[in-house]
Homo-oligomer: A and B are copies of this chain.
Amino acid sequence: MEKVTIQDVAREAGVSLGTASNALNHPEKLKASTLQKVQSAMSTLGYMPNQSARLLAGGRNASFGLLLPSLDHGLFLQIANGAHSEARRHGFGLLIASADDDEQLQRSYLRYFMGTQMAGVLIQPLRIHDAPLDADFPIPIVYLDLHCRQPGYFVAVDNRAQGRLIAEHAVSIGSRRVSVIGSCEGPQAEHRVRGIRDVEATNPSVDFDYLLEGSTGLARDGFMMAQRIAELPETERPDFIIALSDVLATGAIAGAQDAGLRVPDDIAIAGCDGNPLAWNDSVPLTTCAPTGYEMGRRGVQFLVEQIGDGAGRERNPPVEEDPCHQTLIRPFLLARRSTVRG
């Protein structure tokens, strides 16, 4: 049963190689009876087309690649789901890979996707800096979660608005002193902090302080930071903690509770990136996030836009007029128990 080639199929069906190939790619060109013969030959032989050979010979790949930073964030799952359903709707497959927070691996998968002549690639880069790569690439690329004033397709996330929403929420529930914890490394975090500062600027009566130490982003960092905060004398102690990620926030809740504080009565705590996988049972977490599903969906739409609908169709002529295609996905606030008293 091994190694059935289209040659074998052709022989079995008593037709030429080209005809057998046509049965696969242009069935409308064959007489019904011939098609029938070839197809039954294929199934009796258990023929499976060799993808590599098809692509090499000039066939089009009907799959998109999705390259995510990692697999342990709920947002990525949503993105994958959105991308998947949209891809399917247009007759494309979707292959997902994770860079596992490793730039080396990210590059390697990207090259792999290029090398397999994917119909297009959706990528959420690990760093802003990774964006300009696309100039070199011969297949359509769409970047996720990235503002970028460059020619190219971007599904941008308004991280700044995310920070703003959370900070506004803190202000609106009457907080007097807000601590922002987390590491400000990634571009995302940086923008979120900027959004928080926007709110700070317009609310001078509220104190904001920033504990943006290089953290690994693990829950235990949040735990420790919350404990440090809890040790402050009550007059200096913040009544609201904004954690730059939900994982951190979850740790912070545990840390605060461990130190004897009640959440949200003594101190309110919010996350900032809508990661269902980080939520645990102690206190439902207030957070803020874009809809990942929509991100994936829009991303694939951009890809389809570039190469044309349907797996086999022509590639669209390149759209030159406005070389900057961006969609901005708006975040929404999810206000829950960890900040809402009563």
Q: A319: which B residues are within 8 A, CB to CB? A: none
CA distance A78 to B114 in the complex (A): 27
Contact with B along A121-162 (1 / 0, CB 8 A): 000000000000001101000000000000000000000000
Which of A46-54, A177-185, A242-250 faces chain B?
Answer: A46-54
Q: A80: which B residues are within 8 A, CB to CB? A: 71, 98
Within 79-130 of A, Cβ neighbours of B (below 8 Å) are at 80-81, 84-85, 88, 93-98, 100, 105, 108-109, 111-112, 114-117
CA distance A208 to B336 in the complex (A): 37
> If the complex has contacts A72-B77, A284-B281, are A52 and B116 also in contact, measured as CB distance less than 8 A?
yes
Partner of A77 from the list B49, B54, B114, B277 (CB cut-off 8 Å) is B277
Closest to A80 in B: B71
Task: Kindly state whether residue A320 has any CB partner on chain B within 8 Å.
Answer: no
Closest to A76 in B: B77
Task: Kindly state whether residue A55 has any CB partner on chain B within 8 Å.
Answer: yes
Q: A51: which B residues are within 8 A, CB to CB? A: 52, 112, 115-117
Task: Kindly state whether residue A276 has any CB partner on chain B within 8 Å.
Answer: yes
Task: Kindly state whether residue A56 has any CB partner on chain B within 8 Å.
Answer: yes
Task: Kindly state whether residue A232 has any CB partner on chain B within 8 Å.
Answer: no
Nearest-CB distance from A192 to chain B (Å)? 23
Residue pair B95, A96 in contact (C-beta under 8 Å): yes
Nearest-CB distance from A45 to chain B (Å)? 10
Task: Kindly state whether residue A332 has any CB partner on chain B within 8 Å.
Answer: no
Q: A277: which B residues are within 8 A, CB to CB? A: 74, 77, 276-277
CA distance A115 to B56 in the complex (A): 13
Nearest-CB distance from A21 to chain B (Å)? 14
Task: Kindly state whether residue A194 has any CB partner on chain B within 8 Å.
Answer: no
CA distance A336 to B54 in the complex (A): 53
Nearest-CB distance from A203 to chain B (Å)? 29
Q: A48: which B residues are within 8 A, CB to CB? A: 111, 114-115
Q: What 5 pairs across the A-B complex have the smallest Cβ distances? A: A281-B284, A51-B115, A52-B55, A52-B52, A51-B116
Contacts A/B (CB < 8 Å), 24 sampled: A1-B138, A2-B138, A3-B138, A48-B115, A50-B115, A51-B116, A52-B56, A54-B115, A72-B77, A72-B81, A77-B77, A84-B100, A85-B100, A88-B105, A93-B97, A93-B109, A94-B97, A94-B98, A95-B95, A95-B97, A276-B276, A279-B279, A279-B281, A281-B337
